[in-house]
Amino acid sequence: MRNVKISPSILSADLGNLAGDLEKISNADFIHIDVMDGHFTPNLTFGPEVVRVAKRVSNVPLDVHMMVSNPEESIDWYADAGADLITVHYEAATHLHRIVSRLHDKGVQAGVVLNPATPVCLLESIIDDLDMVLLMSVNPGFGGQKYIEATYAKLRELTALCKRHGVDPMIEVDGGVGMGNIEQIVAAGANVLVAGSAVFGSQDPAQAVFDLREAGTR
Ligand code: DX5
Ligand code: ZN
């Protein structure tokens, strides 16, 4: 049976009651924290303090998605605030290998994110060192967007690349994931699914996490 992990994005949570919303998803595998800097992304969100709060109120591992320019300047803030896993964008990082090594030295898992228009083949020289690859299935910036269908082909390509290298990083998909497509996304090779609106837009977020995991595992 497939092992599918669900990482609810707090971008769609009620920030006025973040602790309460995090408690509702204590059955999740990760908490996805979307860090946006208003420069790499046309939106501005969370600083390290939010990571610190999430660490304090929840036992679920923190999956910090850094949508920022020059991530080498700020990864330490998020690592020190309690991130368990940090992903940085290929498009934003000049010294990707140095960032991955730095995170590993600090005991944090490291991943690379590709935007929808960035090809999988660019990972060739870094794939052996990664704990995760995150494929964006929407253009980063906002929750509630529509899943980009071309992500399926990228997932298959990524699976083949990993196989060729004999490595098995987690493969995460972020954007527009829901009950209607999760099974197909997992079948194409993903095993960690981010879900913002599909979880926090639901009446019962814990049930939504459970249902998504079930549907993905089917
Ligand atoms: C988009 C963010 C996503 C977003 C997903 O830039 O990286 O994590 O919150 O939201 P949904 O699941 O609503 O598409
Ligand atoms: Zn994200």
Reported ipTM: 0.98
CA of 9, nearest ligand number: 1
Active-site hit among 21, 29, 34, 131: 34
pTM for the structure as a whole: 0.98
What the block records as the tokens of 96 is 């990707």
Q: Is the pLDDT of residue 218 over 90?
A: no
d(CA 71, CA 74): 5
Is 174 within any annotated ligand binding site? Answer: yes
Does domain 5-217 correspond to CATH entry 3.20.20.70?
Answer: yes
Does ligand 1 have an atom closer than 6 angstroms to the CB of 61?
A: no
Distance 56 CA to ligand 2 centre (A): 21
CB atoms within 10 A of CB 122: 14
Q: Is 27 helix (H, G, I), strand (E, B) or coil?
A: coil
Which atom of ligand 1 is nearest the CA belonging to 199?
Answer: 12
Tens digit of pLDDT for each residue in 118-157? 999 999 999 999 999 999 999 999 999 999 999 999 999 9
34 is in an annotated binding site: yes
- How confident is the model over 181-186, as a mean pLDDT? 98
The C-alpha atoms of residue 136 and residue 114 are separated, in whole angstroms, by 6
Is 144 annotated as contributing to ligand binding? yes
Separation of alpha carbons 161 and 183, rounded Å: 22
Domain ranges of the chain: 5-217
C-alpha separations of 76 from 66, 71, 155 in Å = 12, 9, 30
Per-chain mean pLDDT for the chain:
98
Confidence at 1, pLDDT banded by 50, 70, 90: low
Instruction: Report the percent of the chain where pLDDT is more than 90.
Output: 99
